[in-house]
């Protein structure tokens, strides 16, 4: 199981907006050049981030800015904004376990609470990381390249 690449693309987008926003108009084409992903996909993610109130996109001339301070935006905010999981559930159960099998008919009771604990742990960790952490590391690694 993997979380959708939309999550890492969204974080990449924020890093680009923060890094290049003062020098360039950060558009979907600009972001596509950095991510090497089709601009249509970038626009979809930008729409999701905008819908969550995390970014602002200028109409007409284009350009994207961050709507809040980087300290206020957590990985969990981004994870939720780009709908990485179906219906808010990290784990998707296989369809129609056999009710004739003692394991099959009880599998939800066996696993549901455990899987919820795993999802809660993941979300707690995502909530502890902000875009300010990403900015710090971006500056660190860009600084190393310029040495």
User: For residue range 30-66, what is the model confidence (pLDDT) as tens digits?
Assistant: 999 999 999 999 999 999 999 999 999 988 777 899 9
- How far apart, in whole angstroms, are the C-alpha atoms of residue 42 and residue 6? 9
Q: Model confidence over 67-80: pLDDT tens digits?
A: 999 999 999 999 99
CA angle (100 as vertex; 97, 103 as ends), nearest 5:
60
The full set of domains in the chain, from first to last, is 5-88+130-145 (1.10.10.10)
pLDDT at 114 over 80: yes
Percentage of the chain with pLDDT > 90?
Answer: 76
SS3 content of the chain, % helix, strand, coil (to 5): 60, 5, 35
User: pTM for the whole thing?
Assistant: 0.87
């Amino acid at each position: 199981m993997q979380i959708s690449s939309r999550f890492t693309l969204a974080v990449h987008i924020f890093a680009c907006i923060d890094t290049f926003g003062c020098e360039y108009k950060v558009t979907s084409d600009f972001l596509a050049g950095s991510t090497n992903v089709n601009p249509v996909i970038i626009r979809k993610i930008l729409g999701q981030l905008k819908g969550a109130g995390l970014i602002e996109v200028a109409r007409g001339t284009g350009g994207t800015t961050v709507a809040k301070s980087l300290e206020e935006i957590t990985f969990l905010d981004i994870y939720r904004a780009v709908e990485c999981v179906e219906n808010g559930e990290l784990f998707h159960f296989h369809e129609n376990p056999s009710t004739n099998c003692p394991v099959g008919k009880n599998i939800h009771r066996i696993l549901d609470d455990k899987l919820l604990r795993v999802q809660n742990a993941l979300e707690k960790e995502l909530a502890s990381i902000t875009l300010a952490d990403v900015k710090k590391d971006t500056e660190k690694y860009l600084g190393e390249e310029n040495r």
